[in-house]
Structures are given as C-alpha cells and as structure tokens.
Structure 1
Amino acid sequence: MLVASIPSPDQGVWYIGPVPLRAYGILIVVAMIVAVRWTSRRYARRGGDPDLMYDVALWAIPLGIVGARLYHVVTSPGAYFGEGGDPLLALQIWRGGLGIWGGVALGAVGAWIAVRRAGQRLGPIADSLAPALLVAQAIGRWGNWFNQELFGSATTLPWGLEIDDAHLPPGFASGTLFHPTFLYECLWNLAMAALIVVVDRRFRLRTGQVFALYLMAYTAGRAWIEALRIDEAQLIAGLRLNVWTSLAIFALGAVVFVVAGRLGRSTRVEAGERAAEPEESVLTRGPRADRVLADAGEPHGLDHVADDEKIRE
C-alpha cells in the first residue's frame, strides 16, 4: 500500500492591510449562516414563521459563543491558569478553543429567551435546528485543521495528518502522522445529519424527539473520536472529561426521546401559535360560548373535533 497523508495548511491567517482574516473565524461565520438559513427553512415547513429564526439567532449565537468558550476554558484550564499559563489567552477566541456543550447550553438559553418573547414553543425550533447544527459543527471542525490542533494519536494509516514541527506535541519526531479527528467528526456529523433528516421525514416523531436524536447521534460519535485525541484534557477515571460528558448527554437524549414520545406534542406549529395567540379547543369552551358559535353558524361538538383533526393531519 502506498503511504499517503493529509497535509496541513501552511497558514490560517490572511491580512487585508492591518486586518487579519482568520480561517477559524471565517468557518465559524459560514457555519452559523448555514445553520440559521437551513433551520429557518425547516421551521417554515413545520408551519412556523421563518423570520423568527433570525431573531433567535440574535440571542442564541452570542450567548452560544460565550458558553462555548467558557466550557473550553473550564475544562482545559492549564493554558490559562496553570503553571506558565496566561489568563488573557482565555479572551483570544480567534486562537481556537470552543466547547460545543457550553455553546449548546447557553445557546439554548438565548433561543428560549427569543422564543418566549415571540410567544412560541421551543420544541419545533429545536427540532428544526437538529440536523443544521450537525452540519454547522462539521464545517467548524475544519478550523482545527487550519490551526493544526485537536488531532488524534500517532498513526501509520494512509490518511494520517501531517503536522508542522512548530505544532508537534512534545515527544513526537518530525514527520509523525496523526489521526485527523477533525475529518472523522466532520464525516460523522454529515452522516448523522442525513440520517436525522430521513428519520424525521419517514416517521411521525413528536416535539423534542428530533433534537433528542441529535443529542444521541452526535455524542455517539464524539465519545470514540474524543478518545483518540492527545491534546491536554482533564481525566476522570482514566477517561477524558468530554468522553464522560458525551456519555451523560447520550443518556439524557435517550430520556428526552422517550419522554417527548409519551407527551405526544405535535412537532408542527399551529396557526394559533403563528399568531402568538393561545389555541382554544372546542372541548374547553363553556356552554355559553358554544351557543354563541352555534348561532353564528360554526359547527361544534364531535363533528367539529373530527374536522379539526382532519385539518391537523
């Protein structure tokens, strides 16, 4: 077998005058645009207002970036607060270092704020976001390639990743090839995004179940990919912290999937929700309201319920 390898980029920063253009930042921006636009289209197909996603993005993206950076700093504190560390580096987000779970957590808070202000449900938006978030993460991982960071252990496989001497971890000889974990995660995320889209179309899932699939699909891959990495990380019982986090969130996703299925809420946005008005059921109206509607010529009772169910179908 001919030995091949994946070269690393010669540079990850370009300058327009004094202004630096960093590949990492560019990819993050591209990932955000793709995620927001695709989520908006998916939300519209569920009956929602596609413009709402841009309001959600204004809250979720800034908080998500802050959360992602905080998670990275807290779980990898050595470079910032350890011996010889520099706390100011924690503010230099352009150097890389974003923890997805901090981003998802605070991003969800931002999304909840925007959705609450609009009087909508968070579930259909989260379900619309699920595959788009995976694609965004796949795009963002290429920033690690440009920064020559977060790669795996040494390998002799023909797709090993070349790393410049300036970025080699201590103890490795020049020319050593490493597992391209950025590529593994990119391919995994794209495959899982496609799987979620197929499942979402073929099966009648309930609100929250699609996002639960995202939690399980992403963490199933992240656990084994994380185990390949050799960058500094906190270890608990011999496993990296992010491996334990992935296992915990996979379990959470499984619980959410079961509970959401039992709650049985529709993943579609109803007309009343689009208008940000509470939907009133015929079964909850009082006798006086029924008499008024009957006088106005509106059907009520079981016939009306049957007709309403047909419309929902």
Structure 2
Amino acid sequence: MTIAPAMTAMSIPSPSQGVWHLGPVPIRGYALCIVLGIFIAVWISERRWVARGGKAGQIQDIGLWAVPFGIIGARLYHVATDHDLYFGAGRSAWDILYIWHGGLGIWGGIAGGALGAYIGARQHDIRMRPLMDVIAPSLLVAQALGRFGNWFNQELYGRPTDLPWGLKIDEAHRVPGYADFATFHPTFLYEALWNLAGFALILWLERPRNGRSGIGYGRVMALYVIIYTAGRFWIEQLRIDTVELHDVFGLRFNVWTSIVLFVAAVAYFVWSLRRNPGRESQVYADRPAEAPAPAAED
C-alpha cells in the first residue's frame, strides 16, 4: 500500500539534510535544537527564579551542573533501553559517544539533571522543591524544541497516515517493513505542541488567586510529570520505531514508564496538597542566626 500522490503533496516535508559544514566543523540540526532548548529553559527559569525571590545568576550556576548531568543521564537511559544498537552483532560501543546521531532518554535526563541541580543548589543553600517548581515548566519548552531534532534526523515518527499533516520520510530513513509508505504521523510535532500547551496550562494553574499564594512544595514539578506522561502515553503508541524493551505485556516500555510516573505524580500532588497547601515563602534553606559581634572596648 502506498500513499496517494495528491496526499503527499499536502504533507509536511522533512529537511533535505540535517548537517551543515562550517569549514571542517559539522553543524547538526539535532544538536542545535537541543542547545536552543537548554538556552531557552535556562532563560525562562532565571526569570521565574528571580520572581520567586531568588538571586539573579543562580539558575545559570546550577545549570552548569544540571545540563551535563542531564545529558549524561539521558544518554545512559537510551543506551540501557536500546543497548542492541551499541553492543549487538556488528555494532560499536564507541557509538555511545555520538549523541548528535540521536538517542536521548528524557527520564534519564530528568534524573541526571535533578542530581546536578541538587549539587548546584547545595552550593547556594537553595531548597530543592521550590527550585524544581521554578524549573519544571521550562522543561516542557526545552523538550518541545528538542523534539525538532527528531525532525532533522527523520526518526521517531509514527504510523503511516494519509492525513494532510502527514510527515514525509525519505526511503533511507523508513523503518523496516514500511518502505512502501511515504507519509507518517509527525509524532515530534504532536509532542512539541502538547508540551507547549502544557507549559501554558501550568503557568495559568500556578497563578495566585482567591487569596491563595500559588502552587508550591514540588507540586508544579508533579504537574509537569502528569502533563508530560499523559501526552507521552498516547504519542508513544503511535510510534513504530523499534526499541529493545518495546513490548511488556502488550505495551511499549516507555508507555509503562509513563503510567507509573503519572500515578506517582498524582499521588504526590494529592499528598503534598493535604500536607502543605499553598506555596513556600522562602526559597533558601534556613541558616543559623549569626552571633552579634562583640562590642569594642573603649
């Protein structure tokens, strides 16, 4: 079965190339999307942090820890869940280092980034829960921009479709078994739009209203997890890429991950709301009061 030419003419084109060369230096579309997402996320978080009472520049300092830890964690998660790409027959483990070819797992990135943020926050006596609440919405923006890297690489697309917004995929990039199809669900675009809508929803939900101070104590981060996993649940089931742990009791491994994290985030949100309604007034850890300086002798 093939897609009718009239429908492919209305489809979304894929980039003709994902790499440009500036002299001997390759400039990769995938890497540009990741870097742009990180830059925008830090900028948004910095503004939100200052609005919460934090000091300017601290988010950038924390980012120096969170970003590399996040990238390492994201790569390790991807390798762990798709290790045959690197350790199977005819594969090279050195390819693990080539992150510009794609392959970053979001939950590994969140875990690694949280560890790096914790290290950076300790250096400034910053409380973790208000910090994570500040950063959480910006993650959705970073992920939305990062997903366009999949567009440049022509990867992680969905099932074949004849919808007007179907994504054209070059034959060389089609998943085995789908060579006769030309257009596929643009799951990168679905997730990007879902994430941006989630970002706007969180900003609306956390606005102080009716005398309440807003959402705090880690519940904004919980909302991020709830929104993202809800979208990932249905988007993941559209995808046709092969992953090592792609079928567990009839569902892809990443779908099960989304279900577990969604339930955990909802449970935490309800528990935290009952325990600590409102929002923290202090974003820094309590410091012991300094002893008064001794009076000078006459």
TM-score (norm: length of structure 1) = 0.84
Pick from 274, 277, 287: which aligns with 1:278?
287
Q: Structure 1 stretch 121-130 or stretch 171-180: which is displaced more?
A: 171-180
1:1-313 map, 5 Å:
3=7, 4-202=10-208, 204-233=214-243, 234=245, 235-264=247-276, 267-270=279-282, 273=284, 277-278=286-287
User: Structure 1 pair 267/48, CA: closer, same or farther in 2 (3 Å)?
Assistant: farther
Alpha-carbon distance in 2 for matches of 1:35, 1:249: 22
RCO higher in structure (CA 8 A, sep ≥6): 2
Alpha-carbon distance in 1 for matches of 2:144, 2:94: 28
Alpha-carbon distance in 2 for matches of 1:78, 1:137: 25
Poorly superposed stretches of 4+, deviation over 4 Å:
none
Amino acid at match of 2:50: A
Task: Tell me the secondary structure at the aligned position of residue 207 of structure 2.
Answer: helix
Amino acid at match of 1:11: Q
User: Structure 1 pair 56/269, CA: closer, same or farther in 2 (3 Å)?
Assistant: farther
Alpha-carbon distance in 2 for matches of 1:228, 1:48: 41
Partner of 1:293: none
Partner of 2:296: none
**TM-aligned CA deviation for residue 268 of structure 1:** 4.3
Task: Kindly provide the CA deviation profile for residues 88-121 of structure 1, in whole angstroms up to 9, marking residues without a partner as x.
Answer: 2111101011000000001001101111121110
Alpha-carbon distance in 2 for matches of 1:102, 1:213: 19
Alpha-carbon distance in 2 for matches of 1:169, 1:105: 30
Consecutive unaligned residues of structure 1, counting only runs of 5 or more, are: 281-313
Task: Kindly provide the CA deviation profile for residues 226-258 of structure 1, in whole angstroms up to 9, marking residues without a partner as x.
Answer: 111111121211111110001111111112212
Task: Kindly provide the CA deviation profile for residues 243-287 of structure 1, in whole angstroms up to 9, marking residues without a partner as x.
Answer: 00011111111122122223317634538x3xx65277xxxxxxx
Task: Kindly provide the CA deviation profile for residues 189-208 of structure 1, in whole angstroms up to 9, marking residues without a partner as x.
Answer: 00000000000114532321
Report if aligned partners of 1:209, 1:260 keep a CA contact under 8 Å in 2. Answer: yes
**TM-aligned CA deviation for residue 42 of structure 1:** 0.6
Report if aligned partners of 2:130, 2:216 keep a CA contact under 8 Å in 1. Answer: no
Task: Report the aligned-residue RMSD.
Answer: 2.0
Alpha-carbon distance in 2 for matches of 1:154, 1:279: 62
User: Structure 1 pair 105/46, CA: closer, same or farther in 2 (3 Å)?
Assistant: same
% of aligned pairs identical? Answer: 52
TM-score (norm: length of structure 2) = 0.88
Task: Tell me the secondary structure at the aligned position of residue 236 of structure 1.
Answer: coil
Which structure's residues are more often helix, by fraction? 1
**TM-aligned CA deviation for residue 144 of structure 1:** 0.1
Report if aligned partners of 1:151, 1:182 keep a CA contact under 8 Å in 2. Answer: yes
Alpha-carbon distance in 2 for matches of 1:168, 1:16: 29
Report if aligned partners of 1:60, 1:109 keep a CA contact under 8 Å in 2. Answer: yes
Task: Kindly provide the CA deviation profile for residues 4-50 of structure 1, in whole angstroms up to 9, marking residues without a partner as x.
Answer: 21110000101011100001111111101100010011111111113
When Rg is computed on C-alpha atoms for both structures, the one with the higher figure is: 1
Task: Tell me the secondary structure at the aligned position of residue 228 of structure 1.
Answer: coil
Task: Tell me the secondary structure at the aligned position of residue 14 of structure 1.
Answer: strand
Consecutive unaligned residues of structure 2, counting only runs of 5 or more, are: 1-5, 290-298
